[in-house]
Amino acid sequence: MKSILVIGMGRFGKHLARKMTELNNDVMIVDKEESIIEELAPNFTDAHIGDCTSETVLSTLGVRNFDICFVAIGNNFQSSLEITSLLKEFGAKYVVSKASRDIQAKFLLRNGADEVVYPEREMAEKLAIRLSAKSIFDFIELTPEYGIFEIPIREIWINKSIAQIDIRRKYHINILAIKTRNDLKPLPGSDYTFQRNDHIVVIGKPSDVFKLDEKSL
């Protein structure tokens, strides 16, 4: 369990704070809009109304005590930049700031952010990857070249083993797990025989995974 501070209760901030709470973290939320905090406060460990560009407001939050401080402001980059800088001045251990453009990320990193996230861009890229192929159920980008994908097996693989199909050599992907409904079998052996409705979790290049949709393979 970690202690989390989320500043800015826009869409990203709300979703982030709720998920952090679901994962059993202690979450404090802050926003300058009183109505937003009044609505959300019952769902979190602590909640404060205040403009965190003010040193006075930020100094009362005890930012040194949080494992992670998130700056989730999306519509005012100047405020995001000021808050990021102030958090570090007040001794924040780890600051994650939201950006929408690369130039914003550069300024945030120079002014104290330990990490910058692009939620809109990352969501768009993930959606584009998932919907560019006929049958990608989930996708996690590891690097610009490689990702982890959940995909269904091909019809011709049913009742054949991983070794028989020679997946690594023929398709240039590596199987991390077999998913059958809600069951996950990690690191299956080469003798595993595919069953109808199996999904595979693989690591590989998107271009190689997309080829699995092609009827010629």
User: Residue 63: which CATH number?
Assistant: 3.40.50.720
pLDDT in tens, 160-197: 999 999 999 999 999 999 998 779 999 999 999 999 99
Is 11 exposed, middle or buried (CB count within 10 Å of its CB: 0-12, 13-18, 19+)?
A: exposed
On whether both 85 and 137 belong to a single domain, the answer is no
User: Which residues touch 165 (CB under 8 Å, ≥6 apart)?
Assistant: 157, 194
Looking at the fold, whether 112 and 45 belong to one and the same domain comes out as yes
Q: Sheet with 46-49: list strands edge to edge.
A: 46-49, 26-31, 3-7, 68-71, 95-98, 115-117
Same domain assignment for residues 104 and 19:
yes
Answer yes or no: do 25 and 112 share one domain: yes
pLDDT band at 213 (very low <50, low <70, confident <90, very high): low
% of the chain surpassing 90 pLDDT:
76
- 119 with 14: CB under 8 angstroms? no
Other Cβ atoms within 10 Å of 10 Cβ, number: 15
The gap from C-alpha 215 to its chain's centroid, in whole angstroms, comes to: 33
Matching residue, tokens 């709300």: 14
**Which residue among 117, 133, 159 closes a domain?**
117
Shared domain check, 151 and 126: yes
CATH of the domain at 188: 3.30.70.1450
Same domain, 108 and 126: no
Residues 147 and 67 placed together within one structural domain of the fold: no
d(CA 29, CA 192): 48
Query: Above 90 in pLDDT, residue 211?
Result: no
pLDDT at 68 over 90: yes
Q: Are residues 45 and 136 in the same domain?
A: no
21 and 71 housed in the same domain = yes
The residue ranking higher by pLDDT, 144 or 21, is 21
Number of domains in the chain: 2
Among the three residues 117, 147, 175, which one is the final residue of a domain in this structure? 117
Asked if residue 10 lies in contact with residue 37, where contact means CB atoms within 8 angstroms, the answer is: no
Q: Are 57 and 133 found together in one domain?
A: no
In Å, how far from its chain's centre is CA 65?
Answer: 24
d(CA 54, CA 86): 9
Residues 101 and 149 in one domain: no
Domain range for 157: 122-213
Per-residue pLDDT band for 215 (boundaries 50, 70, 90) equals very low
